[in-house]
Structure 1
Amino acid sequence: MTSHPEPPVLVLGAGPVGQTAALLLARWGLPVVVLDARPARDPVGSKAICQQRDVLDVWDAVGVGAELARRGVTWTTARTFHRDRELFSFTFADRGRSPFPPFVNVSQCETEALLDERIAASPLVDVRWGHRVTGLEQDTDGVTVTCETADGEVRVTGTHAVACPGPRSDALRSMLGLTFPGESFEDSFLICDIRTDLPGWETERRFYFDPEWNPGRQVLIHPCPDSTFRIDWQVPPDFDLAAEEASGGLDRRIRQVVGDRPHEVLWRSVYRFHSRLVDRMRVGRVLVAGDAAHLVSPFGARGLNSGVLDAENAAWKVAFVRRGWAPEELLESYHAERHAAARENIDVTTATMRFLVPHTEEEARHRLDVLERAATDPAARAQVDSGRLAEPFWYVDSPLTTPDPTRPFPGRPARGDVPVPAPGVLVPDCPVTVPGRPDVVRLRQLAREGVTVLLGDDAPVPDLPDLGDLPVAVHRVAELDPTPVLHEALGARADELWVLRPDAHIAAVLTDPVAVPVAVSRALALEGPPCPPPLARSRRAPARGPVPVPTI
């Protein structure tokens, strides 16, 4: 165990969300103690495989994004079929020039292994396996968790905690006084990782409605590295995997998809989908993230991708509070922003599940009508819902965002598209050149160093508030990129001043330089901060232990 003169931030859970939070906190110079109930890493099954472009960008900030993109399978096209007829396909937009593909499929185990390597190289991160949290207390000075270990009960104290121990977190949610309302979907889903050769399928995501080899239900196929494919079958609620294997049914089911070619089953499981969200994602000094805070169906890959964006949001805000760059009230914006993002994910994925698994005969008739018309009717194709794929949330209603009436947010963009740059939206990524900084080659790299102000050609340099040693950078767009690429990606006017947050979201677009310090203060909750909720009462885990929640 490593000791530091400063008290640590606690991260509860060493899955990819916890790993990301720990590395991002360490990137801001904070010591971190990670606590996980498991005795060691358990690399079983590919689990979450589909990583979105902007999540790879977050991981690049901790040194693994480019390597994950290199190791994974890149896909740019999503195809949707009804029975044996292709209804439509679409590709993904990029308003900038990101070095990352829209999606990369790579095993969660490989992601965790790369993140573990970075953690092992960081003197600021201390991972403690075999620490099951049984109690949590907090006050105005910090957070103390009680852990059960092989050597007995121990207490670990930190200034704040990011809680991301995964879906089986009923005990922790109870300690924090949180509810976890939602629903579970009746149908089951069979998932298999299969190694085989499927020429032409290596770079496409394929979704089949009602194929002849799974009548009345759906099948989803994702390519993975090393000639591996992830196949999901929707199956009846009473599906018995052991009986299916014993009867030879699983082999027949696989051959109906891959044909009569050699294949190897690497992993298989049966699960049900859940749609749940905690009532609060901030309780005092504890921020709840990932599957501990929200569960959604995986059609759209919004689980882990959303959890990583939780981690980034939590990490920079805890770091800014710890560094004295922002007041404790900044943490309340974590709940405001990420709870809204989770609600959006639940709305999107619930609509998908209603289309995949109709609840009534009327809904079933409607779906069949849409699918049959979609073969020839573009309007019907827009109603076919096989899962809207993961995308960053837009913080247009955040208390940290300064709205711009000349750039109103038009709402959820079309499938596969990205929103037009505006306050609250993640800034497009583009190549940039910073004098004396050969290590910075992209706009988002620059933005993630602190607060960034971008100036149009005619915009004056603003006076900024005294923020101590907080990193603040001011750059002219034309000096960062003399070509039209960055200017066109932003849609920036010559008199505009852009304020970017430390997570590369746009905090404000202004034309009055006097308004810039106000917008910067607002982005850090220094100006009119939201009222924080009261601290949770100290609680211990119920004697019966956590109630298991099926893993997605």
Structure 2
Amino acid sequence: MYDGTPVAVIGNGPVGQTTALLLARWGLRVILLDQRPGREAVGSKSICQQRDVLDIWCSVGADRIVHEGLAWTTARTFYRDRELFSWSFADPGRSALPACVNISQSRTEEILDECIAAQPLIDVRWNHEVTEIAQDSSGVTLTCGSDELQVAYAVLCAGAKAESLRRQLGVTFAGESFDDRFLICDLRADLPGWETERRFYFDPVWNPDRQVLIHPCPDSTYRIDWQVPEDFDADAERVDGRLDARIRMILGDRPYELVWQSVYRFQSRCADRMRVGRVLLAGDCAHLYAPFGARGLNSGVPDAENAAWKLAFVLHGWAPETLLETYHDERHAAALENLEITSATMRFLAPPDKAHWTRRRALLDAALADPAKVADVDSGRFAEPFWYVDSPLTTPDPTRPFPGRPPRGQLPTPGPGIIIPDTPVPGGRLRELVRDGLLLLTTTGSSRLETSAPPRVLSLTELGLDASVLGARPGESWLIRPDGHVAAVLTDSQSIPTAVHRVLTGS
């Protein structure tokens, strides 16, 4: 039984905000800490939010992110002035949510702040820098200046610069930094035909031997990323007119407004541990990726969801504390996969030596004439949910082997470890039914679900769902976790307790 001791969330960025809102949704008290004096609404920063992240935000009342975001549907990749290929998002579940929206991180944070302000279980404290973390078997002690806070658990969402706190926890953050830099500009302009497309250019005449990425955003704003040399001087370019000339090469003589600009050098890093006792690491504090594929915030928000439901199950007494170790098992595996994918993209975008440059040019030249070569052109595989097929919480189904990553923009067939399609059901969406405990979806309606966690049993028939949406077979029961991932597909009702025990304990 939950005793009311709060959970601390350290870091009031979008991952920390989401963590706090999800914990409060489970009825837990939260102290949300940040060392800054207040919100800094500067620049677009993270802009691409995919459907599964939007679904999580809708569950905490932040559906305005969906409504205000710009939904784009098609990604086009060009080599110089010719289109190599394009792809569009698949939607087997016919979700009411768009596959992706673009919206500035600052606006996302504003909307999440309003949700937090309406949640009495969340205590927001700015100007609270956590300088020390100590823990024992009964809780966590956080030092903030002269104050000490006693909490049950802590989720560290303090971003990439939380090196001191990682060091105190004994966590390493190995990886690499890329030499090339990227100029990012938010521009307001009228670009007919570009409003719903992401455009990626290899070696355009207006940025030879490098890349340009163009994303549409709300209010006729476009985010343009140029890959630039290591010695690039943004201030000098702005003063002497080279920045305007650079923009004009893309926009022509259209009028535009420069809303924001910045220069970044990207890193690829991953913490060796995402759980240290009663402290969980999430978001940029645990992993950093190059942005091509939008896997940063789209990975941090699922970190938040995974941490929140497991902390809730433990604190409410529905699961043993050992469940928390599966947070590391699942989200560290997700981080490593994202690192593998984004690092491969960066090696293609910024080849490390002359030989790699030569091979890249040869491949791009060949892809113009041979469509079979297109599959090897890497302009960034867009974010997708991680599939917990190897998780200790997942009961395998030998009849549904995981085939591996599907083609760009596609999703795997539902099965153990895969997130269920967000298909419509009477009064809403299927994903909305999974968030309050464990859900058993049946093809017969005769199964029972006995668990200490809140249980729910629904038949596909009473939901009005065709079994083909899941690929469910007669006589099956599908055990669904609070994050929408399939824990087990069962044909024998006697095996349900074993699968439930596994999803609550990892054994």
TM-score range, shorter chain: over 0.9
- Number of aligned residue pairs: 506
- AA aligned opposite 1:202: E
Q: In the TM superposition, what is the alpha-carbon distance from 1:360 to its structure 2 partner?
A: 2.2
1:321 equivalent in structure 2: 314
Contact 1:209 1:219 in 2 (8 A): yes
Contact 1:448 1:504 in 2 (8 A): yes
Q: Distance in 2 between matches of 1:263 and 1:53?
A: 30
Q: Distance in 1 between matches of 2:407 and 2:44?
A: 30
- AA aligned opposite 2:439: T
**Pair 1:80 & 2:77 matched:** yes
Q: Distance in 1 between matches of 2:139 and 2:421?
A: 37
**Pair 1:493 & 2:473 matched:** yes
**Pair 1:455 & 2:448 matched:** no
Contact 1:190 1:234 in 2 (8 A): yes
SS at match of 2:425: coil
2:291 equivalent in structure 1: 298
Q: Where do 1:329-368 residues align within 5 Å?
A: 329-368=322-361
Contact 2:7 2:31 in 1 (8 A): yes
Q: Where do 1:201-350 residues align within 5 Å?
A: 201-350=194-343
Q: Distance in 2 between matches of 1:189 and 1:466?
A: 51
1:38 equivalent in structure 2: 36
Q: Distance in 2 between matches of 1:267 and 1:177?
A: 38
Q: Distance in 2 between matches of 1:314 and 1:7?
A: 17
Q: Distance in 2 between matches of 1:475 and 1:455?
A: 6
Q: In the TM superposition, what is the alpha-carbon distance from 1:376 to its structure 2 partner?
A: 2.9
Q: In the TM superposition, what is the alpha-carbon distance from 1:207 to its structure 2 partner?
A: 0.1
SS at match of 1:122: coil
Q: In the TM superposition, what is the alpha-carbon distance from 1:361 to its structure 2 partner?
A: 2.1
TM-score with structure 1 length normalisation? 0.90
SS at match of 1:189: strand
**Pair 1:445 & 2:428 matched:** no
Q: In the TM superposition, what is the alpha-carbon distance from 1:370 to its structure 2 partner?
A: 1.5
- AA aligned opposite 1:63: G
SS at match of 2:147: strand
SS at match of 1:473: strand
Q: 1:255 to 1:315 in 2, by over 3 A?
A: same
Render the CA deviation track for 1:362-417: whole Å, top value 9, x for unaligned.
21122112211212322111111000000000000100000000000001111110
Q: Distance in 2 between matches of 1:360 and 1:370?
A: 16
Q: Where do 1:72-151 residues align within 5 Å?
A: 72-148=69-145
1:518 equivalent in structure 2: 498
1:479 equivalent in structure 2: 462
Q: Distance in 2 between matches of 1:488 and 1:410?
A: 19
1:385 equivalent in structure 2: 378
Q: Distance in 2 between matches of 1:225 and 1:432?
A: 30
Q: Distance in 2 between matches of 1:382 and 1:134?
A: 48
Q: In the TM superposition, what is the alpha-carbon distance from 1:465 to its structure 2 partner?
A: 3.6
SS at match of 2:269: strand
Q: In the TM superposition, what is the alpha-carbon distance from 1:55 to its structure 2 partner?
A: 0.4
Q: Distance in 2 between matches of 1:119 and 1:111?
A: 12
SS at match of 1:397: coil
2:25 equivalent in structure 1: 27
Q: Distance in 2 between matches of 1:368 and 1:163?
A: 42
- AA aligned opposite 1:347: E
SS at match of 1:326: coil
SS at match of 1:308: helix
- AA aligned opposite 1:443: L
Q: In the TM superposition, what is the alpha-carbon distance from 1:460 to its structure 2 partner?
A: 3.8
- AA aligned opposite 1:492: A
- AA aligned opposite 1:372: D
Render the CA deviation track for 1:264-286: whole Å, top value 9, x for unaligned.
11111111010000000000010
Please, which of 173, 182, 196 is the counterpart of residue 189 of structure 1?
Answer: 182
What is the RMSD of the two structures over their aligned residues, measured on CA atoms? 1.2
Q: Distance in 2 between matches of 1:376 and 1:116?
A: 51
Q: Distance in 1 between matches of 2:108 and 2:419?
A: 24
Contact 2:17 2:112 in 1 (8 A): yes
- AA aligned opposite 2:181: S
Contact 1:207 1:219 in 2 (8 A): yes
Q: Distance in 2 between matches of 1:489 and 1:204?
A: 28
TM-score with structure 2 length normalisation? 0.98
- AA aligned opposite 2:495: A
SS at match of 1:375: helix
Q: Distance in 1 between matches of 2:159 and 2:96?
A: 30
Q: In the TM superposition, what is the alpha-carbon distance from 1:133 to its structure 2 partner?
A: 0.8
373-382 vs 267-276, which moves further: 373-382
Contact 1:431 1:481 in 2 (8 A): no
2:393 equivalent in structure 1: 400
Q: Distance in 1 between matches of 2:68 and 2:361?
A: 39
1:50 equivalent in structure 2: 48
Q: Distance in 1 between matches of 2:371 and 2:188?
A: 36
Q: Distance in 2 between matches of 1:449 and 1:15?
A: 25
Contact 1:207 1:218 in 2 (8 A): yes
| Percent sequence identity over aligned pairs | 62
Q: Distance in 1 between matches of 2:470 and 2:368?
A: 37
Render the CA deviation track for 1:211-244: whole Å, top value 9, x for unaligned.
0000010000000111100000000011111111
Q: Distance in 1 between matches of 2:397 and 2:380?
A: 31
Q: Distance in 1 between matches of 2:197 and 2:331?
A: 30
Q: Distance in 2 between matches of 1:63 and 1:271?
A: 32
Q: Distance in 2 between matches of 1:195 and 1:313?
A: 37
Runs of 4+ with >2 A deviation: none
